[in-house]
Amino acid sequence: MHRNIIVGQSGGPTAVINSSLAGVFQAAKDLGADKIYGMRHGIQGLLDGDYVLLTDYIKSPMDVDLLKRTPSSYLGSCRYKLPPIEMGKEVYEQIFTRLNELEIDAFFYIGGNDSMDTIKMLSDYAAIVGSDIKFIGVPKTIDNDLAATDHTPGYGSAAKFIATVTKELILDSLVYDMKSVTIIEIMGRNAGWLTAAAALAKGADCPGADLIYLPESTFDPESFTAKIRELVAKKKSLVIAVSEGIKLADGRYVFELASEASSVDAFGHKQMQGVGKVLADMLAARLGIKTRAVELNTMQRCASHLASNVDVTEAFQVGAAAVKYAFEGKTGQVVTLDRVSNTPYQCITGCQDVHMIANVEKTVPAEWIIDDGTNVSDELINYIRPLIQSEVPPMMVEGLPMHLNNLYF
């Protein structure tokens, strides 16, 4: 018996999404797969007939370990959303024709909520047309907003980067003998998990961020200003962590405040400010204080040089588990990480019917947000802490992290 498989990556990248790809690849090899295909740019690539044999690119155990340490989506990604089955029959026919041509037995999709939706649709269609192809979702997102799984691969490494940089920026902010406010802008439009990671900076050697604002709480510029005014009177240097997605009571994003005025630049282009810059400018104007905005930007999702070993390992495991589940005959499932205990931290892979989780966005529970929405609870810190433990040192060549050669150079 031979079994061919195909794997794709979708949505935004993470520092460890390729560790899951390595897990799928390694398990498929170990469990006797014949051909191991990779879709270029996800399902879009499959539709376009754009795929590769992964064995042409991953040729040695060294390559597998390099792949685990390579940021971004090795196969490329897409944001293609499948139409409802009843409205897009020809798309599904095209996909299944491709899969049948390649004699695919199992299809793996590494991604977030949208990607799990793709797995749901494809497994539903397979049931309708009586196809034997197995469809399994492999979870990934720095946002940690997937339901059903305790946490998502990608989150731990982003959290480790955010907490590390927050510690370093707090020390940097103390250098001069003058009052200052530093605003760190962190990703996560709707879920505050990433911003909450700034709380990990607090420890024996660091007082931590002074205030932490998640998108789950309504943001009030007036009470924010009052709070800063009060803290600035007592403390030289403040460091504030804010989610890019914090919103006003009327539902607008705080960053939209910047475009209220006529902010058109010299090129006639409407300026969009990040929320960090908006708040830094606001405090400078209102309190006459030195402010600075630091946007962590895409570095949060690609800093594989500081990846968490727990995260890299779990990302690899969910990839490998997906293959095992498919080869056992499962389909329409998403692999999950199930935390068994926190002390000691123990976590195992499981799976769950994809219909139970697709398109449900998991946000930070209200009880983990404290102090009128300006901080997070110890329970939340205890939830995150195990996920950032231990390191995967990059393979350093000529002083820089080595990556597996990219498909798109």
| Binders of a copy of itself in range 217-246 (CB under 8 A) | 236-237
The residue among 12 and 245 lying less far from a copy of itself, judged by its C-beta, is 12
Report the residue from 3, 8, 13, 357 that binds a copy of itself according to the rule CB under 8 A: 13
Question: From the CB of residue 302, how many other CB atoms can be counted at a distance below 10 Å?
Answer: 20
Q: Kindly state whether residue 404 participates in binding a copy of itself, applying the rule CB under 8 A.
A: yes
The residue among 253 and 352 lying less far from a copy of itself, judged by its C-beta, is 253
d(CA 137, CA 142): 16
Please name which of 144, 134, 171 lies closest in space to residue 7, comparing C-alpha atoms: 134
Of the candidate spans 107-115, 136-144, 355-363, 384-392, the one that interacts with a copy of itself by CB under 8 A turns out to be 384-392
- In the stretch 174-203, what mask flags binding to a copy of itself with x, by CB under 8 A? xxxx----------------------xx-x
Distance in Å, CB of 7 to a copy of itself, minimum: 16
**Binding to a copy of itself in span 57-76, by CB under 8 A:** 70-73, 76
Q: Report whether 99 contacts 120 (CB < 8 A).
A: no
Q: Kindly state whether residue 206 participates in binding a copy of itself, applying the rule CB under 8 A.
A: yes
Q: Kindly state whether residue 397 participates in binding a copy of itself, applying the rule CB under 8 A.
A: yes
Q: Kindly state whether residue 382 participates in binding a copy of itself, applying the rule CB under 8 A.
A: no
Q: Report the chain's C-alpha Rg in angstroms.
A: 23
Token pair of 320 as six digits: 């490998």
The residue among 98 and 385 lying less far from a copy of itself, judged by its C-beta, is 385
Distance in Å, CB of 57 to a copy of itself, minimum: 13
Number of residues that bind a copy of itself (CB under 8 A): 89
Report the residue from 49, 83, 207, 365 that binds a copy of itself according to the rule CB under 8 A: 207
Question: 281 catalytic, yes or no?
Answer: no
Distance in Å, CB of 311 to a copy of itself, minimum: 10
Report the residue from 257, 287, 289, 370 that binds a copy of itself according to the rule CB under 8 A: 257
Q: Kindly state whether residue 304 participates in binding a copy of itself, applying the rule CB under 8 A.
A: yes
Kindly report whether the peptide bond that precedes residue 386 is cis, defined as omega within 30 degrees of 0. Answer: no
d(CA 197, CA 212): 10
Q: Kindly state whether residue 2 participates in binding a copy of itself, applying the rule CB under 8 A.
A: no
d(CA 110, CA 10): 6
What's CA 275's distance to the chain center, in Å? 20
**Binding to a copy of itself in span 273-302, by CB under 8 A:** 273, 277-278, 281-282, 284-286, 292, 294-295, 297-299, 301-302
DSSP state of 361: B
Token pair of 57 as six digits: 């690119």
Please name which of 62, 58, 60, 59 lies closest in space to residue 21, comparing C-alpha atoms: 58
The residue among 332 and 401 lying less far from a copy of itself, judged by its C-beta, is 401
**Binding to a copy of itself in span 334-363, by CB under 8 A:** none
The residue among 71 and 192 lying less far from a copy of itself, judged by its C-beta, is 71
Between strands 400-401 and 396-397, the pairing is antiparallel
d(CA 156, CA 162): 10
Tokens 């754009």: give the residue.
50
Please name which of 405, 377, 321 lies closest in space to residue 202, comparing C-alpha atoms: 377
- In order of 18, 66, 238, 273, 393, the CA distances from 397 in angstroms are 20, 12, 38, 37, 12
Tokens 């080869």: give the residue.
327
The residue among 159 and 320 lying less far from a copy of itself, judged by its C-beta, is 159
Catalytic residue among 105, 114, 143, 145: 143
Distance in Å, CB of 129 to a copy of itself, minimum: 28
DSSP state of 393: -
Intra-chain end-to-end CA distance of the chain, in Å: 36
Tokens 């794709």: give the residue.
8
Tokens 């006639």: give the residue.
268
Distance in Å, CB of 26 to a copy of itself, minimum: 21
- In the stretch 19-58, what mask flags binding to a copy of itself with x, by CB under 8 A? ---------------------xx--xx-------------
Q: What are the residue numbers of the active site?
A: 143
